[in-house]
Chain A
Amino acid sequence: MYRAMIGPGHSACPGSSSESTLMPAPLEITAASKSFRTPEGGTITALDDVSFGLDGAEFVTLLGPSGCGKTTLLRTISGFEALDHGTIRLEGQDVTDWPSHKRPVNTVFQSYALFTHMPVSRNVGYALEIAGADKATIRRRVGEMLELVGLAGLENRRISQLSGGQKQRVALARALAGRPKLLLLDEPLSALDKNLRQKMQHELKSLQRELGIGFIFVTHDQGEALTMSDRIAVLAHGRIQQLGTPQALYRRPANLFTADFLGDSNLIPLVVAEGRGILPDGQSFTLNGAPRAGTLMLRPEDLTRTRRGEAGLTFKGVVAARYYSGKDFQIELDCPGTGRLLAVLRDDGAVPDTGAELTLHSATDALHVIEEVQP
């Protein structure tokens, strides 16, 4: 739905990695820390030694529960919060002490923060108006941007006459009109209803590819993060728990927090002996590497009714609950020794109901061991 809009100032070949390796990284944060003083006199560590960056025109998502420091990280990049320690570089330049109006970075605010006393056109043209562009240039650019976000012709609308989705698009157009080097988006879709949100997810993603600039997108919705991102940074307690592609994070989470936060998972404690991981029910399998202890992660969709290959694990139990979700069933299986397992089975007309016995298998390649023990 977005029209191609590649003007001067944008690199014309987004994603061409040969170019991005020559250029300095769009963003590089090193050892950033930030704490706040609470009114009661305590301190909250909002960012704890965060190092993080964009390698090129990437779509990176900051994912984490509410209060984990996502907004604070964005605000230190845009310059609204000063870091206690650490440095921020934009395209190789140290901007740690720059005021926000000098940084070539624009933000789409969670509350949109549109200027309510101005019509749509002046909102979108604000960055150019400030930069001293002439009227004709501003008018042309505003038209371009509104077309880009699918709001062509709404120049003269008042902000109060816009729907939530339209405000969202105006905020986006306004942030992009000044050709930022990097776009920051703080939970921009959280106020939209589900259908519109999904549509905007796809549009934002393709917009980022088209513009060829880095997007840093904040969300607490793991589905949204998995759909949109080139890379995801999982945050908890002001620390980056893991940074990687959606597939890497989903298939091979580095810690229990990431495993738990991204999608559903079965986490089974392991005892390690002689290079093998032993499950509570006595089954065991060969470990790669040599962890001293760990937890086995099994995604629900990796449990199948038919055995694939010779090796692998088998779980025998009683169906404790069965939920229908359209194309498949969610099963809760009570296994003696192992506990309750979550599985997703395709609706082939033979999925056993509550109380029935069921045996599930998992192939060896689906087993992922996290070197962390559940408390």
Chain B
Amino acid sequence: MSLRTRRTWSLLGLLTAPSAFLLCFFLCPLVLMLIYSFLTPGLYGGVEWEFFHLNYGRILGWADTKYERFDPVFLIIFLRSLRLAALTVLTCLVISYPAAFWISRMPPARRNFALFLVTLPFFVSLIVRLFAWVLILRPTGFLNQGLMGVGLTSEPLEFLYTDFAVVVGMTYVFIPFTFLPLYASIEKLDTAQIEASFDLGATRVQTFGKVILPATLPGIAAGAVITFIPALGNFIVPSVLGGAKVVMIGNLIEQQFLSARNWPFGSALAMLVMAAVLVLLIVQLRLARRQDVP
């Protein structure tokens, strides 16, 4: 066997297992969902194998039959999810950027410890961590007691079951997702380039805008996308911290599959989220490519 065919074979061998895995557990369910979203919901759950477009009609506006009507609430929930996910990304970035900068300039031993601390929350169950936030945010919780203790407020404020609580919770859950890609690109930042900028007359602010930010833009984009996607579809945080008041698209999908047992409609909602994510990825790719071309 020549070296070349040997290479081809070993490549094939290495790729078979992951490809099969992705095919079975990612692509097939996805195609199944896509098909389901165009099928008629069965009367008692399940599906009937008959083409049906009103699943989308109920969300996007053209359904007006007796059983299947358009309801703007789905779009409202979807838009709210987009907004809350975007807010989460923003808060994560604002917190992670200076932190990543600071950690990347630490001496190595302390830096590794700090990085370990960033990933520490992963070692504790998500549900436990979220209920801790319930304890903090509820009317008799630490936050309200603290605010009243200092005298800033006279009676408990509604924090729990608000957009605020959901954004706080999602920021808390997803911050390592933003932090790590951001850190990777900030750590690579060439200190000499920053000095060169000062040397050529730039102030700190100018240096940040013209050198540091553009050089770390790939990390910002990667961190934002990798946070936005799971935040958009998340249903655990809004169900614990948003309750019935702050419903996100993830809760709706979960509901359709588990309690309403309308799988085709749930699939249609899921496809909507997929579409949003795809658009986002295409925009990001475009941006990344434009950065590559001088």
Contacts and interface: CB of A to CB of B under 8 A. Distances in A.
Interface of A: 39, 78-80, 99-102, 105-107, 109, 111, 113-119, 126-127, 129-131, 156-158, 174-175, 178
Contacts of B107: 39
Contacts of A100: 195, 198-199
Contact of A115 (B193, B203, B291): B193
B144 to A, nearest CB: 46
Nearest to B211: A115
Interface in B188-203: 190, 192-193, 195-203
Nearest to B293: A158
Interface string B211-244: 1001101000000000000000000000000000
Chain B: interface secondary structure?
A: helix
Contacts of A156: 294
B206 A106 contact: no
B221 to A, nearest CB: 13
Contacts of A131: 201
Given A116-B193, A117-B214, A106 B200 contact: yes
A119 B199 contact: no
Contact of B201 (A109, A114, A130): A130
A129 B201 CA distance: 10
A263 to B, nearest CB: 33
Contact of A157 (B192, B195, B210, B294): B294
A39 B106 CA distance: 12
A27 to B, nearest CB: 16
A109 B199 CA distance: 10
Given A130-B201, A130-B206, A115 B294 contact: no
Given A39-B107, A130-B206, A156-B294, A113 B200 contact: no
B196 A101 contact: no
Contacts of B294: 119, 156-158
Contacts, number: 71
A158 B201 CA distance: 23
A113 B196 CA distance: 6
B203 A111 contact: no
Contact of B192 (A78, A109, A119): A109
Given A126-B200, A175-B200, 16 more contacts: A39-B107, A80-B198, A80-B199, A100-B198, A100-B199, A102-B201, A107-B199, A111-B192, A113-B195, A115-B197, A117-B214, A126-B197, A126-B210, A130-B210, A174-B196, A178-B201
Interface in B241-294: 291, 294
Contacts of B195: 80, 100, 107, 109, 113
A113 B193 CA distance: 5
A117 B200 contact: no
Contacts of A174: 196, 200
A101 B210 CA distance: 14
A347 to B, nearest CB: 47
A116 B202 contact: no
A255 to B, nearest CB: 34
B117 to A, nearest CB: 22
A115 B210 CA distance: 10
A261 to B, nearest CB: 28
A88 to B, nearest CB: 15
Contacts of B206: 130
Interface in B92-142: 107
B202 A130 contact: yes
Contacts of B210: 126, 129-130
Contacts of A113: 190, 192-193, 195-196
A158 B214 CA distance: 15
Nearest to A156: B294
B192 A101 contact: no
A80 B198 CA distance: 9
Contact of A127 (B190, B200, B215): B200
Nearest to A107: B199
A297 B48 CA distance: 104
Among B200, B201, B202, the one with the most A-chain Cβ atoms within 10 Å of its Cβ is B200
24 contacts: A39-B107, A80-B195, A100-B195, A100-B199, A101-B201, A106-B199, A107-B196, A107-B199, A111-B190, A111-B192, A113-B192, A114-B193, A115-B193, A115-B215, A116-B190, A117-B214, A117-B215, A119-B294, A126-B197, A126-B210, A130-B200, A131-B201, A174-B200, A175-B200
